Amino acid sequence: MSKRSERKEEHLALAQMFFNKQKENSFDQMHLLRPTLPESKVDQASIRTSFLGKEVSAPFFIEAMTGGSEKSKKINRQLGSVAAKENIALALGSASILVKENEQLSSFTVAREQDPDGLLFANVNPLTPASDAAKIVQELQADALQIHLNVVQEAAMPEGERDFCWLNNMLEIRQAVTVPIIIKEVGFGFDQASLKKLKDVGFDLFDIGGMGGTNFAQIENSRNQYNLSYLSSLGLPTVITSLIAEKMQLDFFVSGGVRNPLDVLKGLALGGKLVGIANTFLQQLMQHDTEGLIEEIQEWKKELAILLAVFGKNDVNSLSSLKRYYDLPLKNQIDQII
């Protein structure tokens, strides 16, 4: 196994080790005003939506996780199967390993083989050569390409990148690929200045990836001989970075610490087009296999449809009109940042 593949499998193991289903995050300090008399009915069709011309059965998706090793190949096969059966979108983990190790291609393409018609996102790092990014999109038959921005993770990673001058290459990638580009954070959230810089050069779709879920500084710190645990707090909570994107009137996905259907509802109320879930679904898969994850996703769909009716709504696009309020610690942060 190569060093890159070994790292991929280490990340999977460490994500499992640090997973805490009850972990509190900014969603717990955000509340939605519920009508006592909603005058509504539960309708499973109310949660259906579409993106890039493809209809999906729910506004949440399997967020980018893995690829590039034998273990990740099995996981991506399972995730592709689940996405196809449940008709939800799937984002693959970083495929930049293919630039050096094309023999790992099948660990990514296996997902598309399982889900030939579904909504699928490829994923690369911002320094991936543009021609390689275009080749990856073509080989994975992706509907969109995520370019992930992971400065804090790289800083904590023992073998991490030390060149953070990424924008010019990202622009080259955009010129080389023919599918939409999604600029994605990996768990530390977007600040307003960076979003503005990206918007000003023409990027128009974001995955805000806020703090609250898997912390890759924590994961990389556990692989590091030095104690860099202080890096774990260098980020913006999911609710705050979502509010920044909403205020800027951007098209964005909400991700980072989504644990249950109420978190999904809150993400949609914040203006997210879709809501991404990674480790919560991964651990369900690891513990209960494909059928267990399918059962959980089916239950989330049922509960989300119920929640829409509880809040008096009959479609996901109307959720952004729900009135929100915040606990004082989060409200104080919002007032200082936004």
Provide φ and ψ at 276, rounded to 5°: -100, 140
Residue labelled with tokens 């280490």: 10
Beta bridge pairs of residue 30:
326
Question: Which residues 6+ apart lie within 8 Å of 11 measured at CB?
Answer: 66, 219
Q: CA-CA distance, 28 to 327, in Å (whole number)?
A: 9
pLDDT computed for residue 11 by the predictor: 80
Is 145 in a helix, a strand, or coil?
strand
Q: Of all residues in the chain, what percent are helix, strand and coil, respectively (each to 5)?
A: 50, 15, 35
Q: For the beta carbon of residue 249, count every other beta carbon within 10 angstroms.
A: 8
pLDDT computed for residue 160 by the predictor: 87
| Structure-token pair, residue 270 | 């914040």
By the 8 A CB rule, do 156 and 231 touch?
Answer: yes
Q: CA-CA distance, 225 to 150, in Å (whole number)?
A: 20
What is the C-alpha radius of gyration for the chain, rounded to an integer number of angstroms? 19
Q: Does pTM top 0.85 for this prediction? A: yes
Residue labelled with tokens 């009850």: 22
Q: CA-CA distance, 53 to 123, in Å (whole number)?
A: 20
Q: CA-CA distance, 14 to 7, in Å (whole number)?
A: 10
Q: What is the dihedral of CA 305, 310, 314, 319, to 10 degrees?
A: -100
Q: For the beta carbon of residue 8, count every other beta carbon within 10 angstroms.
A: 24
Which of 145-167 are b and which e, b meaning 16 or more Cβ less than 10 Å from the residue's Cβ? bbbbbbbbbbbbbeeeeeeeebe
By the 8 A CB rule, do 207 and 253 touch?
Answer: yes
Look up residue 260 and give its amino acid: N
Q: What is the largest CA-CA distance in the chain?
A: 59
Per-residue pLDDT for the chain (338 aa), expressed as one digit of tens each? 787 888 888 887 877 777 887 789 999 999 999 999 999 999 999 999 999 999 999 999 999 999 999 999 999 999 999 999 999 999 999 999 999 999 999 999 999 999 999 999 999 999 999 999 999 999 999 999 999 999 999 999 998 899 999 999 999 999 999 999 999 999 999 999 999 999 999 999 999 999 999 998 899 988 988 899 999 999 999 999 999 999 999 999 999 999 999 999 999 999 999 999 999 999 999 999 999 999 999 999 999 999 999 999 999 999 999 999 999 999 999 999 99
| Structure-token pair, residue 298 | 């089916």
pLDDT computed for residue 64 by the predictor: 93
Q: How far is CA 253 from CA 184, 302, 332, in A?
A: 9, 21, 24
Q: How far is CA 238 from CA 30, 270, 321, in A?
A: 11, 10, 19
